[in-house]
Amino acid sequence: MSSNERREVITVPLDTLIAELGEVRRYIDTLQSQLNQITSELSEVNNSKNFISELKTEGVEEVVVPTDRRGYVLTRAKPIDKDKVIVHIGLEYYAELPLEKAMEILINIEKDLRNTLTLIQRELSNATNYYQQLQALIGKALEQARQGTQVSK
């Protein structure tokens, strides 16, 4: 730094930094929760794609169907129409579609989920870096404060 340049110093209270650290931690937790949710959704989409593939190639005669999301109760069922499935197409809408069209929709859903996953992972990485920078800054400030109190004794 030359003698003509002045270094700008910004003073931020330590309690403000600590509060910011807590906010960033909560944000990171939220992002991690979203990542887990998207990953779970991807798994569900893959399960559906696998089922459609089995219907197309293996001539499925009977399937086991859960009666609830957790699978506490299952029932056996015989597909009435092995050339079509009912697909969730958004919001609360479903459509009975041929297997190929259903697969296209699932592939598009998977693509959207992967894009969302990438964005969340990037944001999580940025938030984690910021969190680590805040931690280092707080640690440095605490160390300087300790050294200042030792010198004044």
| Residue of 87, 69, 68, 67 lying closest to 77 (CA atoms) | 67
Query: 61-83, pLDDT tens digit by residue?
Result: 888 888 888 889 999 988 888 89
Residue 70 structure tokens: 């957790």
For the whole model, what pTM was predicted? 0.78
User: What does the pLDDT read at residue 109?
Assistant: 96
* Distance between CA atoms of residues 38 and 32, nearest Å: 10
Report how far apart, in Å, the C-alpha atoms of 85 and of each of 53, 64, 110, 136 are.
12, 15, 18, 55
pLDDT along the chain (153 residues), means of 10: 66 88 97 97 95 85 86 89 90 94 97 98 98 94 81 52
Q: For residue 71, what is the DSSP state?
A: -
User: What does the pLDDT read at residue 150?
Assistant: 63
User: What does the pLDDT read at residue 145?
Assistant: 80
CA 1 vs. chain centroid, Å, equals 43
* Distance between CA atoms of residues 106 and 92, nearest Å: 16
Residue 100 structure tokens: 């190929």
